[in-house]
C-alpha cells in the first residue's frame, strides 16, 4: 500500500486549471500502479467503465426529459463528475452508508439502485424509489446503503455524524467496521452546521469520510468569490481532521486514495476530509442554461475542462493496457444508452401517485 492517509495532507491555495498543470497539491496516480496494487481484473475495470457510461447517459436522458417538460421541480445533473462517485463508492462494502446532496443520481445508481425506479422518482411517479414523494433531490435506498440525497445545502453533513456514531458505537453495528461516506459541495463549506458537524465527528473519532466534490461553483458563485480561504480541504485542520486533495477527474487517483483512507478507517475509526477537484459540465440546475451560465463562467473554461473528461481519462488508460477496444466501447455504450432509454420508458408509463398514497411511507407505524 502507498502512503498512509496521515501522509496525504496537502497545503497551499492552488487554483486548478483544466489540464491539471497546477494539480501539484492534489494526489495523482499512475493507473497501472493502482490496478496492480488493488488487484483489479479486466472484468472489474470494464464494469467501472460501463458504470461511468451508464451514469453519463442516464443524466443526459434526464436532461432531455426535463427539456421536454416530463420532469418537474429541480434537476441537478452530475455530468463531468463521474470519477468522484465511482472512485470512492467502489472502495466501499456492504453495510457502509452513503449520504449525498441534491446532485445525487450517480451515487444512488453506482450503489446498485434500479435505474428504472430512480428515473421514475425523478419523474415523480408512484413506482419511484421514494414512491414519487422525493423527486430528483431526495432519492433513498436503504437496501443498498444510500441514506439519501438532501436538498438543503450542507443539510446532510450533520446527519453523517449520527450515522457515524451508530456505526461505531451501537452494539449491533460496531463489529461490522462499516463507514459513512458523506458527499458535499463547495457551497456547503460556509454553512454553520458544517463546522459544528466536523467538530463533533473529530471529537468522537467517527468513521466518516467527507468527500467534497469541489466543482468550482456554488450555484453560480465561484470558489474564489465565496470563500476567503480557497484551500478548502485545509479547513478540516481546525478540527484536527486529516485531509487531502485529489484530482477528481481521474478515477484511478480517486480510487487509490479512497481505498487507503477507508481501509485505515476500518482499523482505526476517525473522520477524514477528502477534496476532489472536479468540474460540472452543466449548469447548477437544469434551468441554469447557457444564457445564465455566461454570467458566471466563460464558455472557454468549460471547453478546457472537457479536455480532461473523466470517462475519456478512464477509457484511455484501459485502451493503453489493451482492456478496452473500440468494439467493446461501442458495445458498452449501446448498452448504457439502452438502460437510460428503458428507464425513461418505464417512468413515462408509470402512474402518478393516487390520492390515497399521499400519506403512505411518510410516518412510521
What per-residue confidence (pLDDT) applies to 357?
Answer: 86
CA 363, CA 203: separation in Å to the nearest integer?
33
- Is the pLDDT at 27 greater than 80? The verdict is no
What is the torsion angle, in degrees rounded to the nearest 10, for the CA atoms of residue 188, residue 168, residue 83 and residue 7?
90
- Is the pLDDT at 363 greater than 90? The verdict is no
The band of 15, judged by pLDDT with boundaries at 50, 70 and 90, is very low
The H or E element containing residue 277 is: strand 272-277
Domains in the chain with CATH codes: 79-313 (3.40.50.970)
CA 218, CA 230: separation in Å to the nearest integer?
13
What per-residue confidence (pLDDT) applies to 2?
Answer: 34
In order of 52, 154, 197, 338, the CA distances from 190 in angstroms are 31, 9, 12, 40
Beta strands in the chain (DSSP E): 97-100, 146-149, 180-185, 208-214, 217-218, 221-222, 242-247, 272-277
In order of 183, 220, 365, the CA distances from 283 in angstroms are 19, 8, 41
CA 87, CA 89: separation in Å to the nearest integer?
6
What per-residue confidence (pLDDT) applies to 362?
Answer: 79
In order of 91, 97, 209, 255, the CA distances from 37 in angstroms are 13, 25, 21, 11
What is the torsion angle, in degrees rounded to the nearest 10, for the CA atoms of residue 16, residue 18, residue 22 and residue 23?
80
The band of 356, judged by pLDDT with boundaries at 50, 70 and 90, is confident
What per-residue confidence (pLDDT) applies to 5?
Answer: 37
pLDDT, greater one: 11 or 273: 273
For 40-90, the pLDDT digits (tens) are 999 999 999 999 999 999 999 999 999 999 998 899 999 999 999 999 999
What per-residue confidence (pLDDT) applies to 25?
Answer: 62
What is the torsion angle, in degrees rounded to the nearest 10, for the CA atoms of residue 157, residue 162, residue 168 and residue 173?
-120
For cell 473500440, name the residue: 326
What per-residue confidence (pLDDT) applies to 24?
Answer: 53
What is the model's pTM?
A: 0.92
For 118-157, the pLDDT digits (tens) are 999 999 999 999 999 999 999 999 999 999 999 999 999 9
Neighbours of 89 (CB within 10 A): 25
In order of 42, 261, 295, the CA distances from 54 in angstroms are 18, 27, 31
- Out of 8-12, 253-257, 317-321, pick the least confident: 8-12
The band of 21, judged by pLDDT with boundaries at 50, 70 and 90, is very low
For cell 473554461, name the residue: 301
CA 4, CA 107: separation in Å to the nearest integer?
26
For 194-205, the pLDDT digits (tens) are 999 999 999 999
Number of residues that this document lists for the chain:
365
What per-residue confidence (pLDDT) applies to 364?
Answer: 77
CA 200, CA 184: separation in Å to the nearest integer?
17
What per-residue confidence (pLDDT) applies to 23?
Answer: 54
Q: Mean pLDDT throughout 215-242?
A: 94
- Is the pLDDT at 18 greater than 90? The verdict is no
User: ∠60-65-66 over CA atoms, to 5°?
Assistant: 95
The band of 162, judged by pLDDT with boundaries at 50, 70 and 90, is very high
Give me the chain's average pLDDT, please: 92
Amino acid at each position: 500500500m502507498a502512503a498512509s492517509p496521515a501522509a496525504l495532507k496537502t497545503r497551499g491555495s492552488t487554483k486548478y486549471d483544466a489540464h491539471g498543470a497546477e494539480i501539484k497539491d492534489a494526489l495523482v496516480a499512475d493507473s497501472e500502479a493502482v490496478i496492480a496494487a488493488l488487484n483489479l481484473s479486466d472484468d472489474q475495470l470494464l464494469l467501472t467503465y460501463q458504470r461511468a457510461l451508464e451514469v453519463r447517459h442516464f443524466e443526459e436522458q434526464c436532461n432531455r426529459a426535463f427539456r421536454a417538460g416530463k420532469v418537474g421541480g429541480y434537476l441537478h445533473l452530475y455530468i463531468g463528475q463521474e470519477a468522484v462517485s465511482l472512485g470512492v463508492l467502489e472502495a466501499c462494502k456492504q453495510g457502509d452508508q452513503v449520504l449525498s446532496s441534491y446532485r445525487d443520481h450517480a451515487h444512488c445508481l453506482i450503489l446498485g439502485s434500479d435505474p428504472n425506479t430512480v428515473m421514475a422518482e425523478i419523474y415523480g411517479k408512484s413506482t419511484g424509489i421514494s414512491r414519487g414523494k422525493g423527486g430528483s433531490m431526495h432519492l433513498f435506498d436503504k437496501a443498498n446503503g444510500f441514506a439519501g440525497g438532501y436538498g438543503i445545502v450542507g443539510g446532510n453533513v450533520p446527519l453523517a455524524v449520527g450515522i457515524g456514531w451508530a456505526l461505531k458505537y451501537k452494539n449491533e453495528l460496531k463489529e461490522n467496521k462499516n463507514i459513512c461516506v458523506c458527499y458535499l459541495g463547495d457551497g456547503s463549506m460556509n454553512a454553520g452546521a458544517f463546522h459544528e458537524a466536523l467538530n463533533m465527528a473529530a471529537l468522537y473519532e467517527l468513521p466518516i469520510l467527507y468527500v467534497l466534490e469541489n466543482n468550482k461553483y456554488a450555484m453560480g458563485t465561484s470558489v474564489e468569490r465565496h470563500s476567503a480561504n480557497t484551500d478548502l480541504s485545509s479547513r478540516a485542520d481546525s478540527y484536527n481532521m486529516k485531509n487531502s486533495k485529489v484530482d477528481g477527474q481521474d478515477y484511478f487517483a480517486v480510487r487509490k486514495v479512497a481505498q487507503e483512507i477507508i481501509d485505515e478507517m476500518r482499523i482505526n475509526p476517525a473522520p477524514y476530509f477528502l477534496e476532489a477537484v472536479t468540474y460540472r459540465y452543466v449548469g447548477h440546475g437544469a434551468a441554469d442554461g447557457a444564457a445564465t451560465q455566461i454570467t458566471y463562467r466563460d464558455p472557454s473554461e468549460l471547453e478546457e475542462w472537457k479536455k480532461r473528461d473523466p470517462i475519456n481519462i478512464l477509457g484511455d488508460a484501459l485502451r493503453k493496457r489493451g482492456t478496452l477496444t473500440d468494439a467493446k466501447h461501442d458495445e458498452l455504450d449501446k448498452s448504457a444508452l439502452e438502460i437510460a432509454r428503458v428507464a425513461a420508458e418505464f417512468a413515462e408509463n408509470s402512474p402518478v401517485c393516487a390520492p390515497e398514497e399521499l400519506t403512505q411511507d411518510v410516518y412510521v407505524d
